[in-house]
Structure formats: C-alpha cells, structure tokens
Structure 1
C-alpha cells in the first residue's frame, strides 16, 4: 500500500485526536469504588455488549464482580445495582434522583416544561393518590364500560379466527379510553381525536429518540443537544396532541365554571381529575385562558406519559404470555366464568380482588417482561457508600439491574427464569404489591403511585378478553419477547382471537 507524504499528517492527526479522546474519556475510578469490569476496546468500552448481549454479559459480570459493579457505556461509567444494592438506592430518596438521571436520555422537559419539576411531580403523585387510587371503587363501573367498548372496537367479532397485529400498539387505544374517562371526564372521553392524542402521545415523542446516542461518547449532553435541535427550531412531534386536547377540553371547563356559578351549593361535581384540579387553589380560576389551558393540559399529559404506554405494553405482554401457555387456559378461564356469574357481568372492586389466579398470573407476566436494566438514578450527594463499603462519586448514574432482582434464585428457586404463574398466589403477593424481589413498580417511597389503577385496569381487561375469546399465538408456542438494548417489549407476531361459544 502506497502512502504519500500528504497522508502522513492526516494519519498523525487522526491518531492524536483518537488518543486525546481516549485520554479524556478514559474512566477514572477511585480505589474504593465498585469493581470496574475490564473491557477490550478503548472509548467504546462495554457499549456493544450492553446493547446486543446485555442479559448474558451482565449476568457474567454480576457473578464475577458482585453487586454493585461498574461498566463503561456510551462514554461514561455507570454503576449496576442488583438484588442487594438496588434497595439502598430506592431507600435513600434524597441521595438518588430519577428525574435528574433521565433528563439527558429522555428530554421530555423540552416540550412539557414542568416535567421533572419537583413541585409539579409531587403534585402529580398527590393527585394520583387522592384523585384516582382513593376513589378507584367509584371508577370501576366506568372503566369496565370503556374497556368493553374498546374491546369491541379494537378486537370485535371473531366468529372466524382473526389475527391482530400488536407491533403498532393496537392496545394503546384500549387502555387510553378508560384513562381518558378518569382524567378528562365523560363529556369528551368518547371523542376519538382525544383518544388518539392520548394513545399516540408518548410514541410520537419517542420518535426524536430514534438516533442512537453515539455522540454520548463525547459527552451525554452533546447527544441531548443534537436530538433536541428540531424541538428548538420549532418542530414539536406532540404539539398536535396538546392542541387537540385544548380544543375539546376548553368548552368542558368553561361549562363547569358556569354551572358552579349558576347552581352554587347545588352543583354536582363530576368525578374526574379535571374536576379535582379545578377545586385545588393552584388551579382555581374564573376564566379559562390559553395559558391556563396550557398548564392543565401539560399536567394531564404528564399522567399520560406514566400510564398509557406502560400499561398497554404490559397488557399486550400478558396476553402473549397467556396465549402461549394452553396448560393455563382452562384454570384461569374457569375463575373468570365463576366471578362473572357472581357479579352478573358488572364487576366491583371486591370481584376484582377475587381474581387471585389472574392476579398471580399478571404479576408473573410483569416479572418476566424482559427488561434487563432500567430506572436510572443519579447520585446527588458528594459521594455515597454502599453497605458493602464501596463508594460512588457525585453525579454517577446508578442503573437498576432488574433481571438480577427478578431472577434471583433465593426468591424464585433454582430455575428463576421459568414462568411461575401461581408464585404470587402461593406466597400471598399481589401484582400491585412491591417487595425486595419484585421491582416492576419500583420500591419503597418511590413505588409507582399509579400501580393500583394499572393493575385494576389490566385485570379487568384480561378478564373481559378471556371471557369472550380463545387467544392463541400464530405459532401455537410461546412467542419470544423483543428487546431494544436492555429494554424489553412484547412480541410482534400478533395474536389470534376467536369467539368463545356462549
């Protein structure tokens, strides 16, 4: 191969640039930190294994280096906290912060300005607890009606077996309807434009996250700046959804204000979150201005981010888990038939509580969802020392090693990756109950406040679907879940529905 004198400076420059980047990005680990897993490739570190072989790679690291341990991914050191260390992260809520850790990789605050604001997020949690969880029995009948409407619309008549593709989030609308009923009331929860806005909101936002974080090798904030450039130049993939909600919500709010003024003490407040907000001092108003609408819609979309997308994915995954296991069909179906006869088709919270086999099945589906690592937290203190004596510095991202928690042999036996449909039933663990071996909804004070509503909704949906349809996979076998990097997703093969004979 011939090299001219002109090429020598270029080669030297590339070499120098590579060395400088390597020197700048070389991880600097103090002596007392968790062990750093060795890697072969400078700059790249463990990134390829993390993206394409996370389950096996991290299991080997855990076995060899204990808990917690450090790896080098996308230009930064992250700490993996598994079944022993993760509990410390969730316990020390002032030291470890979730929102601070996700701002670079999930910059939703660029379009929902109050997303991540501590005061707003605290208000969201309070609203869920007071406005939804505490009143869940009052919502049950309405949720059931919305679910049945959605099932008839999204699945419909299956006199002949019907294959329904799930890759495009068909069940997002199924979940969006009851959520819309609870959030914005019965006046507009039947509006298909509103349902589409709710169902597609988070999917459209994640379109800006399609660019792999290659620039994070330089610095995570460089990647964030690049992927959010379109937003700063006016492109807003979710702006249309906010406009839709504002359009239909404004007349509802204006009518309620008029009715309050006309009827006074005789005003009968509707049961929904917008009414709950109208009665709070921070949202009290006499005129529905555009700014007021923006604030209340932004608040509502924060709910949507944390509810519809996640709930619909878990419902879809649970349907696949059921469809691929014919040995469970009769047992779980018989429970639903018995409960349906008891309630004469009108479920109450007490009847939902009696779905103990279905609840246990749903819990196991959650545990086997397939996500390897998730829920990052940033260390905000100058340093933090784990109980095993290992210390991490301020700013370190600590990832929750979910598979180490959900597949530990102490809790789930010698074959923890097997599907144990009645493990929760035998051990008196409900699907919404968090414990040290089940982090689907987080842990401790950080546990998801909407988990009761989500499980309530999924169980009701599963109950109605199982009662009305035989469900199979196209292959007749258990379909393999999809994984994007470390994040699990439901299979995409589709589900076959066929009417049950009444």
Structure 2
C-alpha cells in the first residue's frame, strides 16, 4: 500500500512544485506563499479522502462517517443540525458510528440501547469529568462538579439534594408566582397588562422574557434573598460575561485568547467573591434558617467529616445558577411557543386552572406544590415539550479504556464486536430516541394528549424512566432509578441524571400556569431549533402576541 501511494503522489507533487516555481518567478514571494498554503490544503484534503477510500478499516472498528476536511471532519453538518446528522448517519451506518469533530473522534450509539450503553456505563470507562471539566471549571469554579473526582461529585449532589427537600419546594410555589406577576406588571413589553383591558394585543420576545423570569424565580427561591436583592444591571452584566464562556466553542476550545475568555474569568472571580461574602455574613450572624440552597450547603459535611468551604459553596451556587438558568429558559420558551401556536391546548390548560383554583368569589387561588404535581394537562404539556425539545441533544463522555460495544447493539459479525478505543469520545443522544418515528407516532408533532393514553408509548416510556417499582441504585446521592433503558430521558439518566429535576418541573409548572392565567397567547408558527448554542433555543424571530384575560 505505501508503494501505491508513492506512485500516486510523486507525479502530483512534482507538478505542483513546478507550477509554484513558475508563479514565484513571475509574481514574487507573497503569491508563492499563498499558493503553497492553497496547495497544502488541497493536498491535505486529497490525502484525507484517499485514506478513507483506500486504507482498510479495522474489522472491529465502528464505521466512520466520510468527511472531506481533515481535523474539521463533520463539524459543519453536525453543528448545523445534529439530529438530522444523526438520523442520516443512522440510515447509512446503523446505530453505531464514528465521526470526526475538530480532531476528536466521536463514537455515537443511538437509540434506547445506545443511551443505556453510554449513560449506564461505568465512570471508570465513560468519564464525564474528562469530557466537561475544561468547559465547566472556568465558569463554575474550582473544586466542584467536574473539577473533582466522581465520588466527590456524588457527595456534592447529595448535598444539593438536601436543599431540594419537599418542604423547601412547597415554600417556593408562592414565591415563583409572585415574581412572575411582578415581572408582568413592570416589564415594558407587558405595558398592556392593565386591569379589564382585554382587547389590545401586545408582543414580547419569549426567550428574553423567560430568561429574566427564570433568573428572578431561581434567585428568589434556591439562590436566596441576598442574591435576589442584588439583581440589578451590574449583576446582569456580570452574569452575561460569565455566560460568554458557556458556548459550543468553549466546549471544544476552552482556552482561546478571546476577550470573552478574559471577561469570563474576571466575572467568575467577582461572582465567587460575591457569594463568599454572603456565606461569611450568614455564618457570622447565625441567621441560617432560610429555605434556600446556601442554608442547606452550610450544614453539610463530606464523609470524612470535613465541612464544605465557603469557596466550594460559592462555586456550587454558581453552577446551580448557570446550569438551571439555561435549561429552564429553553424549556419554558418552547412551552410558551407551542401553547401560542396551539390555542386549543392553551385554552384546555386555562380551563384546568379555572376548574381547580377558581373560588366562589370569582378569584383564583394560588396553586400549591401538590397542585402543580397533579394537573394532567399541565403535566402533559411539559412532558411533550421536553420530548421534542430536550435542552441538551448530545451527552458526551471520554473513553478511558478500550471498551467493546454489546453485540445486541451493533456488531460487524457473529464472531466479534465493535471496540471503542481509549482516547475516543462517545455521544449518547436521547433527543434521537425521543423523536424516533419508529417509536413515536407523529414524532415531529407536538401532541400533549399522547401522554393521556395510559397504555400508549409515551406513558410506557415515562414509566420506564421513573421505574418506580423497579431496582433503585444509590450512586452516592440517594437511591434513584437509572432510567437508562427508556427512550424518554428529558433530564438525562444514570449517575449523572439531573439532580434538579423536581425543582425544574415545579419552576416550569408554576411559571407556565401563572402566564396562562394572565393572558391569551398567539403566534403563527413555532420557530426552528437554533443548534448553534450550547443549550438548544428557538431561532429568531420568536415574538409572541398576547392580550390580558378577563377573570370577571
């Protein structure tokens, strides 16, 4: 094979050397350098193409997605529409394949079995810290989440779970409702929100509105009153600078010498000191009975008896703020967009509120924690939105040692299995199994009522995800269902399943209920996905029209 390649490349190289020498004689060295660069790129593309077409693939290696550009690989197709990329590759290569993404070799395992294989795998083999540390540590801070060994992370998740107690969650519903109503009254985009004015239509950008509502409600509840009191323009600017380091480019190249990186680092240090100051004042005053996360974390100790340091608590609070803000904003925005595009569902959701909460005096009472968990239309609306629009489409792990893919998932022959080599990355994609037309009827349609059929695919997938009567596993933060075998995994699965699932559902349910009570919504068409952001948001324009409801 080397002899064949030499015979092919030798005359090509001689030709280009001759052409470049002539160009240099006529036009000078600058053109010569330019032509050298151009020819180098062409040669690299040629060799990369030749390698894929001529060199044999290892018999136990997953099929590789063909790509023209070396290093860049399939980044353009994947980045523009990852789900379409996955489905196209699945049709051509099967459920398991490898593609190149900016020099990284990514092996994808699709479907419920693929999710189970990766998300249910051992952390010693498929490691999340190695995959995400370079993205999260500059934003969250040191010594928390993926900047610590897995066993420490599991302890930290247990600490956070203490702060998400049922008693705390019960106290949050009224706070969230109050914040949403106050936002509607004071925000300029809702200036038409006047008593008994139900004829005029106003408009608002749903992502802008939900982003502010999400951070207001999270700061009022989980973050604590001191954080809520400091939500002014300077905090918003600080948050924006920190958020600038939470992008897809930072996931691939975390240390590029950009101005945004410098501002991210400065913001992280400033926000960390802000939280440390709050914690120190709490400790000094002994006033630590607030139903928020800071109060819970101050009381926690690791198994070795060491209490969390002020800096660790500060960084965990930043992690909660950043991670929860993006995902809840995305899900809330998609939900409101679909309700605006489906007035019949929005009306059913409103009637559910009236039937449950309207008193004899014609006034609505506030919902409780138990109410939010027991409203069937609201529940179906949120589940269906999460099915179609999971905030994170691909979940990544770093491969620490060679691992064989189960023959039941994919195999090159009856006598062997595919092997993923150490140093690769693996992707699970619950978004594929959640929109797979082989599983879900009208998979590309937003149909909340599919969740009302107790014998249907949706209900069965949800039962498998909860696995309430099945085996529970304690990864270090309490016994939970793995949920890795379900085709529906809106909050991830396995040991890295989102610890804030219950709070997110409560926050979303209360925000949506409050908005639907207050106004009618309409939009001509739900926008497409914007896959160029780390969390999948709707593309612009995403303007919703609204008018006030009359309750009398």
Same fold (TM over 0.5): yes
Q: Give the match for residue 501 of structure 1.
A: 550
Q: Give the match for residue 314 of structure 1.
A: 331
Contact 1:151 1:174 in 2 (8 A): no
Q: Give the match for residue 113 of structure 1.
A: 142
Q: How does 1:462-481 map to 2 (within 5 A)?
A: 462-473=512-523, 476-481=524-529
> Partners in 1 of 2:36 and 2:365 — Cα distance?
76
Q: Could you give the per-residue CA deviations for residues 399-428 of structure 1, whole angstroms, max 9, x where no partner exists?
A: 223442111234312x31111212223244
Structure (1 or 2) with the larger CA radius of gyration: 2
Contact 1:202 1:309 in 2 (8 A): no
Give 1:309 shift: 1.9
Q: Could you give the per-residue CA deviations for residues 163-196 of structure 1, whole angstroms, max 9, x where no partner exists?
A: 11245x332231223322333434x254143797
> Partners in 1 of 2:294 and 2:215 — Cα distance?
16
> Partners in 1 of 2:354 and 2:312 — Cα distance?
45
Give 1:19 shift: 5.4
Contact 1:378 1:398 in 2 (8 A): yes
* Alignment gaps of 5+ in structure 2: 1-18, 195-199, 411-416, 467-482
Q: Give the match for residue 272 of structure 2.
A: 242
Q: CA distance change for structure 1 residues 123 and 175 in 2, over 3 Å: closer, same or farther? A: farther
Q: SS where residue 479 of structure 1 aligns? A: coil
Q: Give the match for residue 137 of structure 1.
A: 170
> Partners in 1 of 2:263 and 2:549 — Cα distance?
53
Q: CA distance change for structure 1 residues 76 and 23 in 2, over 3 Å: closer, same or farther? A: farther
Q: Alignment partner for residue 163 of structure 1, among 181, 203, 217? A: 203
- 476-485 or 358-367, which deviates more: 476-485
Q: CA distance change for structure 1 residues 487 and 250 in 2, over 3 Å: closer, same or farther? A: closer
Contact 2:241 2:263 in 1 (8 A): no
Q: Could you give the per-residue CA deviations for residues 380-414 of structure 1, whole angstroms, max 9, x where no partner exists?
A: 2233433432210112111223442111234312x
Q: SS where residue 4 of structure 1 aligns? A: helix
Q: SS where residue 92 of structure 1 aligns? A: coil
Q: CA distance change for structure 1 residues 202 and 397 in 2, over 3 Å: closer, same or farther? A: farther
Q: SS where residue 445 of structure 1 aligns? A: helix
State the TM-score, normalized to the length of structure 2. Answer: 0.75
Q: How does 1:350-429 map to 2 (within 5 A)?
A: 350-369=370-389, 373-387=393-407, 388=410, 389-413=417-441, 415-427=442-454, 428=459
Give 1:12 shift: 5.3
State the TM-score, normalized to the length of structure 1. Answer: 0.81
- 55-64 or 447-456, which deviates more: 55-64
Q: How does 1:283-362 map to 2 (within 5 A)?
A: 293-341=310-358, 345-362=365-382
* Alignment gaps of 5+ in structure 1: 261-268, 286-290
Q: SS where residue 106 of structure 2 aligns? A: strand
Give 1:230 shift: 7.1
Q: Could you give the per-residue CA deviations for residues 431-461 of structure 1, whole angstroms, max 9, x where no partner exists?
A: 9955611122112333211111101110111
> Partners in 2 of 1:371 and 1:211 — Cα distance?
14
Q: CA distance change for structure 1 residues 30 and 39 in 2, over 3 Å: closer, same or farther? A: same
Q: CA distance change for structure 1 residues 462 and 3 in 2, over 3 Å: closer, same or farther? A: same
Q: SS where residue 546 of structure 2 aligns? A: strand
Give 1:33 shift: 1.8
1:276 aligns with 2:296: yes
Please give the root-mean-square deviation of Cα atoms over the aligned residues, in Å.
3.8
Q: CA distance change for structure 1 residues 194 and 112 in 2, over 3 Å: closer, same or farther? A: farther
Q: CA distance change for structure 1 residues 375 and 205 in 2, over 3 Å: closer, same or farther? A: farther
Give 1:331 shift: 1.3
> Partners in 2 of 1:315 and 1:232 — Cα distance?
31
